[in-house]
């Protein structure tokens, strides 16, 4: 997500959720919090991701770049400086002490954009006015007072031209790696580079007005409509594609004007057309801190933000296409976040990128190879034949299975697929790569898929496939919590640079006063007897899943034995946009003291089912009645989806 500099860090928007009735069951080994709810039958239930767009029902779920931590997080860790020509624009300096990006294993069989990136721009709504063409062939719009649309198109059309070493920075990243990797192995599929053809299409969707304040589901529906409009209705056709949903001047998508804490964001959705990556791009000059005249003077410089932020979200999408399965750091920063709003003229700072279509203001992005923010890197070319990551997954016993394998080849379209390790009853189509059939052979097996072309090139991918009598099928959800074990250490000033929000310094601790469940870090609530301690994290209920659970390890260490003056720890779920409480999930007290850490599991499905794909806040609050007599210790949190 791209945020304006030097503004208070904000939360993303979320439609209101209603809390169903809740019941609790206490397990012997720990605590399991269960909830029950009922929903009326509906042919196209919103909870399952159905939306009606352009006269058709499409199953989509909107998502958010929850791993793409607000760039302001990075800013707070940097010293600030003032640019002489823009005294009102506080900016930062590069911090080379930041951790490198690590690979997170891929989500829904996608890690990075491993083919040549394709960008489709959507100008959403009749508010844009009438479409035309300029002498260069770019689409113009009558209600575009800044003439931003041609600038935006020319930026994407120029990527990869004129020795574009800026795009080369992203090509160092890859997929099909072990989770936690910081370097790519030989033959790993790398991020692709465009060759002057990143702009794949433009759609002026002005038949009706776009919503004045579009919600997240509406934005996702427009991205899905764009996929349909451009004929990208299969997982393969959307594999290396992103859609930029652009709104007209004066529009307020996703509470943009109220929040003023982000300038643009990217995410993905599960849909009937496979996974669809998209960016929301508001009319940036509506808010001067989103790049207007950031480094260039005059009318063209007013459009600096369209390439600074367009490039930011583009770079983050191709390196983390299905967030948070790609490349992020331990504190939740993507490659663009780590380098946002750095002084022009300083190492890693903003600069004008020369392309065949013109000069465009851009920011640097993080380079693991150089361990700094960089605007230049040699292009790491893919092998001619690339096969995408396949996620570990489970499938039902003796039920139809359909798993697409997606490969791209620069030299040949005639590919041959083979597989080893498939359970009995499943096979792979040698021409299309579709794994299909049904199997009663229970258990989990290691499968290798190999692809060959006529030129003799070969590529392979590996995954684990389980045939199990389970209620959870398909790709196994990856961890959604950033810094789940509280292992991101405080900086020299004692500030915690990670994604957790703590009410006081030191709640996230590596103190030897208590022991962690694992590693060195843990969270210690109950420090203060005079004010409540809070700890929270906003988490996306990743699009397209139908179940959500939150778990952690809890140790209640107390010298308070009173039943009348109880120290308490409350776990609640909040609405991310309004901050209002959705539900109190459970409360513990000093009377729940334990001899060590015990596991706790919470079923969140009933609370997020009305708008699965939205972002919620998981929040802990401790309250002390005496002299901080009770320590509520948390460790090894996990937010999982199925």
Task: Please check whether residue 44 is in contact with residue 56, taking contact to mean a CB–CB distance below 8 angstroms.
Answer: no
Structure confidence at residue 91 (pLDDT): 57
Task: Please check whether residue 579 is in contact with residue 514, taking contact to mean a CB–CB distance below 8 angstroms.
Answer: no
Domain with CATH 2.60.120.260 in the chain: 31-41+479-641
- The pair of structure tokens assigned to 628 is 């901080």
pLDDT band at 541 (very low <50, low <70, confident <90, very high): confident
Alpha-carbon distance of 558 to 631, in angstroms, equals 6
Alpha-carbon distance of 7 to 76, in angstroms, equals 10
- The pair of structure tokens assigned to 503 is 């009410």
146-159 pLDDT tens trace: 999 999 999 999 99
Domain with CATH 2.60.40.10 in the chain: 392-475
316-362 pLDDT tens trace: 999 999 988 999 998 889 999 999 999 999 999 999 999 999 999 99
What Cα–Cα distance (Å) separates residue 102 from each residue in 95, 118, 335?
Answer: 17, 24, 10
Q: Which helix (H) or strand (E) holds 31?
A: strand 31-33
pLDDT band at 483 (very low <50, low <70, confident <90, very high): very high
Residues in the chain: 642
Tell me which residue of 420, 418, 474 sits closest to 447, measured CA to CA: 420
Do strands 139-141 and 86-92 pair parallel, antiparallel, or not at all (unpaired)? unpaired
Structure confidence at residue 186 (pLDDT): 85
Which alpha helices (H) appear in 50-201, and where do they start and end? Answer: 71-76, 148-158, 165-170
**How large is the average pLDDT for residues 363-368?**
97
Alpha-carbon distance of 355 to 161, in angstroms, equals 6
- The pair of structure tokens assigned to 426 is 């499943």
Structure confidence at residue 491 (pLDDT): 82
- The pair of structure tokens assigned to 347 is 């190492």
pLDDT band at 32 (very low <50, low <70, confident <90, very high): low
Non-local (6+) Cβ contacts of 467 within 8 A are 394, 395, 396, 397, 423, 439, 440, 441, 442, 443, 444
DSSP conformational letter for 107: B
Superfamily (CATH) of domain 392-475 = Immunoglobulins (2.60.40.10)
Q: Which of 109-118, 410-419, 623-632 has the lowest mean pLDDT?
A: 410-419
pLDDT band at 626 (very low <50, low <70, confident <90, very high): confident
β-sheet bridge partners, residue 355? 358
- The pair of structure tokens assigned to 24 is 């609790």
109-123 pLDDT tens trace: 999 999 999 999 999
Is the pLDDT at 230 greater than 60, yes or no?
A: yes
**How large is the average pLDDT for residues 628-642?**
93
Alpha-carbon distance of 320 to 114, in angstroms, equals 11
The CB-side HSE value for 249 (13 A sphere, CA atoms) comes to 14
Non-local (6+) Cβ contacts of 28 within 8 A are none
pLDDT band at 488 (very low <50, low <70, confident <90, very high): very high
pLDDT band at 187 (very low <50, low <70, confident <90, very high): confident
Structure confidence at residue 296 (pLDDT): 96
pLDDT band at 197 (very low <50, low <70, confident <90, very high): confident
**Through-space distance between the first and last CA atoms of the chain, rounded to whole angstroms:** 25
Q: Which CATH class is domain 31-41+479-641?
A: mainly beta
């Amino acid at each position: 997500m791209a945020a304006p500099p030097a503004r208070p860090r904000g939360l993303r928007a979320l439609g209101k959720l209603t809390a169903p009735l809740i019941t609790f069951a206490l397990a012997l080994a720990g605590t399991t919090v269960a909830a029950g709810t009922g929903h009326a039958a509906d042919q196209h239930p919103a909870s399952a991701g159905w939306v009606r767009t352009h006269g058709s029902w499409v199953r989509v779920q909107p998502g958010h770049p929850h791993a793409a931590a607000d760039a302001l997080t990075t800013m707070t860790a940097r010293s600030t400086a003032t640019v002489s020509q823009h005294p009102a624009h506080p900016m930062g300096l590069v911090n080379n002490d930041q951790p490198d990006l690590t690979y997170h294993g891929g989500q829904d069989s996608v890690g990075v954009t491993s083919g040549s990136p394709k960008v489709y721009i959507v100008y959403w709504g009749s508010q844009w006015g009438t479409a035309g063409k300029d002498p260069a062939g770019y689409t113009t719009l009558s209600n575009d007072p800044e003439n931003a649309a041609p600038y935006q198109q020319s930026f994407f059309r120029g990527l990869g031209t004129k020795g574009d070493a800026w795009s080369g920075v992203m090509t160092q990243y890859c997929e099909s790696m072990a989770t936690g990797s910081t370097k790519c192995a030989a033959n790993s599929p790398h991020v692709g580079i465009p060759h002057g053809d990143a702009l794949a299409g433009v759609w002026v969707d002005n038949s009706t007005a776009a919503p004045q304040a579009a919600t997240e589901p509406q934005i996702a529906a427009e991205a899905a409509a764009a996929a349909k409009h451009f004929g990208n209705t299969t997982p393969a056709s959307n594999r290396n594609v992103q859609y930029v949903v652009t709104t007209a001047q004066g529009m307020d998508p996703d509470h943009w004007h109220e929040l003023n804490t982000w300038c643009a964001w990217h995410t993905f959705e599960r849909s009937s057309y496979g996974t669809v990556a998209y960016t929301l791009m508001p009319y940036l000059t509506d808010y001067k801190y989103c790049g207007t005249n950031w480094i260039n003077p005059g009318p063209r410089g007013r459009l600096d933000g369209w390439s600074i932020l367009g490039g930011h979200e583009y770079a983050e999408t191709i390196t983390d296409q299905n967030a948070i399965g790609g490349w992020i750091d331990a504190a939740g920063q993507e490659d663009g976040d780590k380098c946002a709003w750095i002084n022009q003229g300083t190492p890693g700072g903003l600069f004008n990128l020369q392309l065949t279509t013109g000069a465009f203001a851009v920011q640097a992005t993080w380079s693991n190879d150089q361990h700094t923010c960089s605007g230049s890197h040699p292009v790491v070319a893919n092998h001619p034949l690339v096969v995408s990551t396949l996620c570990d997954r489970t499938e039902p016993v003796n039920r139809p299975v359909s798993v697409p394998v997606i490969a791209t080849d620069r030299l040949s379209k005639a590919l041959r697929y083979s597989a080893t390790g498939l359970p009995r009853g499943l096979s792979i189509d040698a021409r299309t790569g579709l794994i299909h059939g049904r199997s009663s052979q229970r258990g989990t097996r290691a499968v290798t898929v190999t692809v060959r072309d006529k030129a003799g090139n070969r590529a392979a991918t590996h995954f684990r496939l389980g045939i199990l009598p389970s209620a959870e099928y398909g790709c196994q959800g990856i961890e959604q919590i950033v810094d789940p074990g509280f292992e991101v250490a405080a900086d020299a000033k004692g500030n915690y640079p990670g994604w957790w929000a703590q009410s006081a310094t030191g709640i996230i601790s590596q103190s030897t006063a208590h022991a962690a469940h694992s590693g060195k870090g843990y969270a210690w609530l109950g420090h203060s007897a005079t004010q409540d301690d809070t700890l929270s994290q906003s988490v996306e209920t990743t699009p397209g899943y139908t179940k959500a659970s939150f778990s952690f390890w809890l140790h209640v260490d107390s010298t308070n034995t009173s039943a009348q003056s109880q120290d308490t720890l409350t776990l609640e779920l909040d609405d991310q946009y309004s901050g209002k409480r959705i539900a109190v999930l459970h409360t513990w007290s000093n009377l729940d003291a334990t001899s060590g850490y015990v596991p706790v599991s919470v079923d969140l499905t009933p609370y997020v089912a009305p708008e699965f794909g939205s972002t919620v806040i998981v929040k802990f609050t401790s309250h002390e009645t005496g002299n901080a007599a009770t320590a509520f210790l948390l460790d090894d949190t996990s937010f999982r989806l199925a």
